[in-house]
Copies of this chain bind each other. A is one copy, B any other.
Amino acid sequence: LDIDLVPCYAVASATEIKSAVDRTPFHTRYIRAHIDGYVDDILLAKQFAKAGGVYGSDHMTGGFSGYLCEILTIYYGGFRPFLEAAARWVLGEVIDIEHHGTKEFDEPLVVIDPVDPERNVAAALTVSRMFEFVELARGYLKEPSDMFFCRPPPPLLSREVFARLLAARGTYLFTITFATPGYTADTVVPQLRKSAGSILELLDRSGFPANRIDTCMQKDHCMLLFELMAEEVPVVRRHIGPPVWSPENAMKFVDKYVHDGVFAGPYIEDGRYVVELPRTFTRAVDLLRSGEILEVSLGRHVRRSMENGWTVNAGAECWDEEFAGFLSEFFGRSSPLVRIRRVTGT
């Protein structure tokens, strides 16, 4: 048995905390003072959120923390009233239990901490997790079932089924894998998302629009996944120049391209110069394997790891046992309620 002893400062009120954990005793005191009669309801609420995949305020999940489940169950007066209220939540919902909020928050759900008027307890909750909870609440109220408390994990695909599903979609799958940086998931996961977003923009402006992207951190490797609508694009690309009413820039632009081996132009479109140039990369795989990837805005630890090398796979070659669960989830992606309704046939 390992026990972590976490020291904290003894402060007089939660607003005077010196370290994040100093707030914990106030939370414990608040819950102890209000939990009477709600113990079972809180357990139900937490299990409901857990089975729905929306429990946990870590960056990977972006869901509901234990404390958030506790205070919402107490505030609404039980598990069922909590679900009934959640079913009607809107984007930007504000709940101020102690009516002492002093700040404006622009997060999807705002729950003012009953022990600290300046803190949003739901700060880590993403729009997607918030509304997955909303739809689970509506689904449960309409048709309750055990599935809402113990959902079986989604089926794991085999390499063969994965290849067959990809062929049916007709899209072009690419993965970038590299060694997992030696930091916690809460540090690495946001960096994976930021990096994938930046590479998505690079792909898009290079002529390769995506259907969907995702990221995954495992013990040894991280994966950035891109499902593209094209793997190869024409060599011609339009390059938009300055407006003609900006004489110096206009002249510079024409001087640059007038005797160049361009496909067409410079010509004038809606008052701006346009020239048609050859692309550097006509194949997505060449772009993803190139140094251009390191030029975009990657997370710091992701960049460090990728500087030691990364692997690009394409199509069915993207299958990787280390990421079997992640890859299976990607193709079968559905909201939590849709999964339950598919299993229960409702």
Contacts and interface: CB of A to CB of B under 8 A. Distances in A.
Interface of A: 87-91, 108, 127-128, 130-132, 134-135, 138, 168-172, 207, 211-212, 229-230, 233-236, 238, 243-245, 247, 250-251, 254, 258-259, 263-271, 273, 276, 282, 331-335, 337-338, 341-342, 345
Nearest to A135: B244
How many copies the complex holds: the figure is: 2
Contact of A335 (B171, B212, B267): B267
5 contacts: A131-B243, A131-B244, A134-B244, A171-B236, A254-B337
B267 A334 contact: yes
Contacts of A332: 264
Given A135-B250, A169-B236, A337-B254, A331 B245 contact: no
Contacts of A245: 89-91, 131, 134
Main secondary structure of the interface of A (DSSP, over half): mixed
B170 A234 contact: yes
Contacts of A168: 235, 263
Nearest to A129: B268
A189 to B, nearest CB: 18
A234 B259 contact: no
Given A238-B211, A342-B259, A132 B335 contact: no
A245 B130 CA distance: 10
A243 B108 CA distance: 13
Contact of A211 (B90, B234, B267): B234
The 6 closest A-B pairs by CB, nearest first: A170-B234, A131-B244, A171-B234, A170-B235, A127-B271, A90-B245
A211 B127 CA distance: 36
Contacts of A135: 244, 250, 254, 268
A167 to B, nearest CB: 10
Given A258-B342, A335-B268, A170 B229 contact: no
B338 A247 contact: no
Nearest to A134: B244
Contact of A269 (B128, B254, B273): B128
Contacts of A341: 254, 258-259
Contacts of A171: 234, 236
A331 B244 CA distance: 22
A343 to B, nearest CB: 11
